[in-house]
Amino acid sequence: MDNLTHTLVGATLGRAGLARRTRFGMVALTIGANIPDLDVLGLPFGLNLGFRRGVTHGLPALLIWPFLLTGLLIGWQRWRSRGHSGGPAPVPRQLLFLSAIGVFSHPLLDWFNSYGLRWLMPIRGTWFYGDTWFIVDPWVLGALAWGWWASRTPANPARREWPARWALAGLVLYALAMWTGSALGRRQVRHELANLGFGVPRAVMVTPMALNPLVRLVVVDDGAAYQIGILRLGGQLRLDPAKRIETSMTSIDRVAMEADDQARQFLAWARFPFAMVRMEGDTVVTVLDDARYSDGTRGSFARTEVRTPARR
Mean pLDDT of 22-35: 95
- Between 29 and 200, the more confident residue is 29
- Looking at residue 18, the DSSP 8-state letter turns out to be G
What digits encode the pLDDT tens for the residues 172-208? Answer: 999 999 999 999 999 999 999 888 887 788 899 999 9
**Distance between CA atoms of residues 14 and 17, nearest Å:** 6
What digits encode the pLDDT tens for the residues 71-128? Answer: 999 998 888 777 666 677 889 999 999 999 999 999 999 999 999 999 999 999 999 9
Kindly list the distances between the CA atom of residue 10 and the CA atoms of 66, 70, 111, 224, 286, in Å, as whole numbers in the listed order: 14, 15, 17, 44, 42
CA-wise closest residue to 177 among 101, 102, 112:
112
Q: What is the mean pLDDT of the chain?
A: 88
Q: pTM for the full model?
A: 0.89
- Model pLDDT, residue 302: 86
- Model pLDDT, residue 158: 63
Is residue 166 pLDDT above 70, yes or no? yes
Other C-beta atoms lying within 10 Å of the C-beta of residue 294: 21
Confidence band for 146, pLDDT divided at 50, 70 and 90: very high
Confidence band for 286, pLDDT divided at 50, 70 and 90: confident
Q: Where are the domains positioned within the chain?
A: 3-130, 182-243, 248-309
DSSP labels, 34-62:
TGGGGGGGGGGGT--TTTTTSGGGSHHHH
Confidence band for 160, pLDDT divided at 50, 70 and 90: confident
**Distance between CA atoms of residues 227 and 222, nearest Å:** 7
- Model pLDDT, residue 86: 62
Is residue 129 pLDDT above 90, yes or no? yes
**Distance between CA atoms of residues 130 and 171, nearest Å:** 15
Using DSSP bridges, classify how beta strands 304-309 and 283-290 pair: parallel, antiparallel or unpaired: antiparallel
Is residue 22 pLDDT above 80, yes or no? yes
Residue pair 48/90 in contact (Cβ under 8 Å)? The answer is no
The sign of the torsion formed by the CA atoms of 249, 289, 182, 214 equals negative
**Gap between the terminal Cα atoms of the chain:** 46
- Looking at residue 202, the DSSP 8-state letter turns out to be S
- Which of 57-71, 79-93, 214-228, 230-244 is least confident? 79-93
Residue pair 29/102 in contact (Cβ under 8 Å)? The answer is yes
**Distance between CA atoms of residues 116 and 272, nearest Å:** 13
Is residue 157 pLDDT above 90, yes or no? no
